[in-house]
Amino acid sequence: MPEFPLRRLRRLRRTEPLRAMMRENRVELDELIAPMFVAPGRGVKREVSSMPGVFNLSVDRAVDEARALAELGVRAAILFGIPETKDEEGSGAWADDGIIQQAARAIKQAVPDLVLIADCCLCEYTSHGHCGPVAGGEIANDPALALLQRTAISQAAAGCDVIAPSGMMDGMVHAIRSALDAENFQQVPILSYAVKYASAFYGPFREAAASAPSFGDRRSHQLDPANYREALLEAETDVAEGADALMVKPGMPCLDLVRALRDRFDLPLAVYQVSGEYAMIHAAARNGWLELERCALESLMGFKRAGADMIISYFTRFFAEQQQRQS
């Protein structure tokens, strides 16, 4: 490598056309996934107070939103449900007329090409807010698997294109894969939340999805944010269990894992820029402390540079609108 003064790295940064030509990564709409929160009722569009531009939508409004997203060029949405009622087991997760099932059917009918990803977990549906049945003060792993199987099957039957288990139960990918296969859903892929930390950055989501645990926390099943090797083991087990694609969550605090999984596994890799990441950029922008648009873009670019193929982000719609304005 020649050194200064022979090497001058600034030569290629002088003008925007040069920079554009040399640019190593681009964020493209094709790879962004928009989260949607579906709630009971009709005509409901309620903004989540800590997440400007993110709404609880009734099924009819969710269809409108799905249509608008597709018209903007968005390819995919991930669905979260806020059920009318909750119970000990979380039966709303697999009910035929459950909120996700209703939403998926209606959206598929109106916007068949929008890829629908179903978050497959029980915490939004259980009265205690935990991701599985509670026994003796603990979240039972194996009984949760049978419930997740039922949930995945009913989501696939309602037309969801991808099942995304997020509960961090051991064996969940294998359980869901075998259940889907047994019910003739061999073609439905599993996008596993393989590396999901017990993160404080999920705070605003729990308001949006009304899924805060009524006691305790999620540290007995989600990863300790201090651990790196354990995250690799989680990913490895999900690959072995038949995951079609992997996810790292949250995003910005975990870019090391995005890079590590990209280098280690050849499966498609998603990253979830979670509610708290979105909320803090918005909060700072509202205060005049950060520039919303540039920070949003830079955060998405960071995921690309780290090696992500897909990004679940609450900025998806904003990004799509931005692109439309520029074109």
Q: What one-character-per-residue DSSP string does 245-262 give?
A: EEEEESSGGGHHHHHHHH
**Position 303 contacts ligand PBG (CB under 6 A):** no
Cβ nearer to ligand PBG, comparing 180 with 209: 209
Binding pattern for the stretch 260-289 against ligand PBG, x by CB under 6 A and - elsewhere: --------------xx--------------
Instruction: Answer positive or negative: Cα dihedral of 73, 38, 163, 246.
Output: positive
- Out of 123, 163, 188, 254, the residue judged to bind ligand PBG by CB under 6 A: 123
**Which letter does DSSP use for residue 36 in this model?**
E
The active-site residue, picked from 86, 108, 249, 304, is 249
Helices 59-71, 316-326: axis angle to 10 degrees equals 40
Can 249 be counted among the known catalytic residues? yes
Q: Are strands 138-139 and 134-135 parallel, antiparallel or unpaired?
A: antiparallel
Residues in contact with ligand PBG, total (CB under 6 A)?
Answer: 11
Question: In 10 A of CB 222, how many CB atoms?
Answer: 20
Q: Which is nearer to ligand PBG, 153 or 274 (CB)?
A: 274
Q: Encode 265-313 in three state secondary structure.
A: CCCCEEEEECHHHHHHHHHHHHCCCCCHHHHHHHHHHHHHHHCCCEEEE
Is 166 a residue that touches ligand PBG (CB under 6 A)?
yes
Q: Which of 119, 234, 238, 241 binds ligand PBG (CB under 6 A)?
A: 119
Q: How far is the CB of 78 from ligand PBG (least distance, A)?
A: 8
Q: Is the alpha carbon torsion for 283, 251, 196, 33 positive or negative?
A: positive
Answer for which of 94, 185, 197, 205 binds ligand PBG (CB under 6 A) is 205
**Using CB under 6 A, which of the segments 18-26, 118-126, 181-189, 281-289 binds ligand PBG?**
118-126
**Residues recognised as catalytic:** 196, 249
In the complex, the residues that contact ligand PBG under the rule CB under 6 A are 119, 121, 123-124, 166, 202, 205-206, 218, 274-275
